[in-house]
Chain A
């Protein structure tokens, strides 16, 4: 009989971990950029669920997963645009708007789902996996880690793109200034609002893409509230990673392992109540926060709207 340390279990666990990690990774990278620029984006869960819904709808009606991803990302960006208008431009409270957007979109997507799919619960066909040559041939680890949908590789590559942006480009400097001392950026002649808007829109696109991946590839279906806190987990990742994209990747993988334990255990024939396993990622979060919460550093201007000339 298969057990906790069998090959089957390990393979299922790792494969599931990577799949589960991708939405978290994308959400975390997106949130990290927003936070660097000084915007606390609580609405990210709303962006993800909207991206998941649109991604599913797009893929379902067009037959193309890629169209679904595109639509999902655009949907996330649309929500982010609302957030940018209300919070960055008008200066409304970021937390209140974020909560409102998240709740509203969760309700909206559940509503729409009810009218469209609640009778049929359609599924998408399983997504194509693209193996990385050579690496995919490693026994056990190969198919688990190196045989995934292209979006997975994109997400990992994005980590390094972010590192490059933050360290080596003018945009990276602008973002950090916007978060640490927006007045200095303003005086240097750069539009603080535009810089923060870029960050927020990017977050929306990444979160939307993450949601679309979750629905289309991870689950193959959209059900209401499917994100189940993935966006908030992304916020935790960004908080703990202290501005380093690589740490977002590690954290995402860690949480991914927790999330994929349910399916892995079922595959391995171990019987543990789903609810208990579902607690694991959040338990892991709380432990991390207890251990490292004090050191989680956030930019000084986080959560404060920028008003030129305000004393």
Chain B
């Protein structure tokens, strides 16, 4: 394993250096003796899967956390970064994965946040500076637009602009591409290039190998809190993109293989006459102030078929899932499961009919964090026998069945009485899957099922999804990970602006077609 950090003379100046930085939380070591050198004029990619410790490192660089051990040097001087304000003063600007703009204020007001509280906001000065930066870098923003009206890509541009306005020398981009179209990702890459040409240092965090290989000048690979390797600019220039990917895979997983997330999909044939198991016709949901609506969505899923929903987050996918589940009131359209209309049925009734919904928000709505594992298994079946008889709880029945499910789905938990909030994301997901696949399942809506999971759990979850389809259920898989959809689905539909803009068979050039649909072109 390559562990050499190239610090040869003649390289670009180091702005920020991390020396043996370690961060511990109760029960976990998030970062373990990480050495990192960030240089001006370079795009330094931090690559690692979920749980590798990338976000914690960023937290320490932005002043949100402090290292348990080790030190951070700025311009060669050991400097504890104790608050976001200090990080800004040192020239470190961060664009976080989750938007850090105030939605009810305008772009200009957001950019003006941070001045001393007794002053008038200096709007003219701001306009002048923004105009200047826009000119040199080609970023365009409407200063008077309310942030909640902007698209996610535009919001990201505002955040980058904010970092530049603060005279950042180091710009940290945390998983910035998850909200972008393929074209938007390319634009971001070009912008990063222009920025480093002007002498900025950029730290680009991602878990996607292709992006790392395409955009990085230097790549540091993180795995389970440790830095397992670094690829210097010389090597990056010398090798082709595919060679780099192979090298990275070897660093991350210790064996020569292609991207482990890729798996050969066996194309399946569905005879045209098969009656669809799940039919959706002209489903419509009114838009609200904070959420998009749905416009006349129609699709079919045949038994055993895996239909994927691609699209950038926030284009109505969540609303579609909730409308199907019965959580969101519709203003029109029809949903039919196994020939029976679900219109007018509530959440519980739809579930009973066999339509199951695995939410992406595990702790926010999928579980009650303080309740034990056993109860969470049956959260959607409260009052039903044999777990409740005449309204009274049958503790032994619940415990018995919960124990069985824990074994069957390989859930790691100290006991079935442990509050579910204490379990890791992967284990919680297993419980949710077990819950939704309980007796009577006919169709399942999976909303971003592998989001936030580490590789092992991601693969296990995908396997479960395939199994569900293999058993003859209708499966709707909503995901923002295009590779995931391409590796699993029979057909892929694209959502944009609350409407289904096209459906593509998953064969051959599906990737291109889907990409085109996502940016508004015809497939």
Contacts and interface: CB of A to CB of B under 8 A. Distances in A.
- A–B touching in complex (CB under 8 Å): yes
Contact of B84 (A180, A187, A195): A187
Contacts of A190: 85, 113-114, 117
A98 B100 CA distance: 30
B104 interface: yes
Interface string B118-151: 1111000000000000000000000000000000
Top 7 nearest A-B pairs (CB, nearest first) are A189-B85, A188-B114, A171-B117, A188-B113, A309-B64, A181-B102, A170-B115
Interface string A27-60: 0000000000000000000000000000000000
A169 B84 CA distance: 22
A176 B117 contact: no
Given A176-B102, A176-B105, A169 B121 contact: yes
A223 interface: no
A170 B116 contact: yes
Contacts of B496: none
B94 interface: yes
A283 interface: no
A169 B62 CA distance: 27
Contacts of B59: 309
B113 A180 contact: no
A214 B193 CA distance: 65
B366 interface: no
Given A177-B102, A181-B103, A309-B65, A169 B85 contact: no
A173 B31 CA distance: 36
Interface of B: 59, 62, 64-65, 83-85, 88-89, 94, 96, 100-105, 109-110, 112-121, 162
Contacts, number: 74
Interface string A151-192: 000000000000000001111011011001101111111110
A294 interface: no
Contacts of A183: 100
Contacts of B88: 188-189
Contact of A184 (B64, B65, B113, B115): B113
B30 to A, nearest CB: 12
Contacts of A170: 112, 115-121
B94 to A, nearest CB: 7
Given A186-B84, A190-B113, A309-B64, 10 more contacts: A170-B117, A170-B121, A173-B109, A173-B113, A176-B105, A177-B105, A187-B100, A188-B114, A189-B84, A190-B114
A119 interface: no
A190 B110 CA distance: 12
A309 B113 CA distance: 19
A185 B109 CA distance: 12
A187 B109 contact: no
Contacts of B109: 173
Interface magnitude class on chain A: 20 to 34
A250 to B, nearest CB: 23
A180 B109 CA distance: 13
27 contacts: A168-B120, A168-B121, A169-B119, A170-B117, A170-B118, A173-B121, A174-B117, A176-B102, A176-B104, A176-B105, A180-B102, A180-B104, A180-B105, A181-B101, A181-B103, A184-B110, A187-B62, A187-B84, A188-B88, A188-B114, A188-B162, A189-B84, A189-B85, A189-B89, A189-B114, A190-B85, A309-B59
Contacts of B110: 184
A184 B112 contact: no
A180 B100 CA distance: 11
Given A188-B114, A308-B64, A181 B100 contact: yes
A191 B63 CA distance: 13
Contacts of A181: 100-103
Nearest to B95: A187
Nearest to B87: A189
Contacts of A171: 117-118
Of B59, B101, B103, B112, the most chain A CB neighbours within 10 A belong to B101
Nearest to B116: A170
Nearest to B121: A170
A165 to B, nearest CB: 10
A181 B96 CA distance: 14
From A170, A174, A190, name the one whose CB has the most chain B CB atoms within 10 angstroms.
A170
Contacts of B62: 187
Contacts of A186: 84
A185 B117 contact: no
B147 to A, nearest CB: 9
Contacts of B162: 188
A170 B109 CA distance: 9
A181 B155 CA distance: 15
A184 B102 contact: yes
A162 to B, nearest CB: 15
B335 to A, nearest CB: 28
B120 A184 contact: no
A169 B120 CA distance: 5
A117 to B, nearest CB: 41
A100 B105 CA distance: 35
Residue of A184, A190, A191 most packed against chain B (CB within 10 A) = A184
A195 B114 CA distance: 11
Most chain A beta-carbon contacts within 10 A, residue among B64, B114, B117: B117
Nearest to B162: A188
A157 to B, nearest CB: 19
Contacts of A173: 105, 109, 112-113, 121
A33 to B, nearest CB: 13
Interface string A189-207: 1110001001000000000
Contacts of B89: 189
Contacts of B85: 189-191
A126 B89 CA distance: 57
Given A170-B112, A190-B85, A309-B59, A180 B103 contact: yes
Nearest to A182: B102
A192 B79 CA distance: 24
A184 B101 contact: yes
Contacts of A187: 62, 84, 94, 96, 100
Nearest to B85: A189
A168 to B, nearest CB: 6
A186 B162 CA distance: 14
B103 A174 contact: no
Contacts of A174: 113, 117
Nearest to B98: A183
With most chain B CB atoms within 10 A of its CB, the pick from A169, A187, A189 is: A187
A180 B105 CA distance: 9
A198 B116 CA distance: 13
Nearest to B289: A297
Contacts of A185: 102, 113
A169 B101 CA distance: 18
Nearest to B59: A309
Indicate the member of B104, B116, B118 with the most A CB atoms within 10 Å.
Answer: B104
Contacts of A188: 84, 88, 113-114, 162
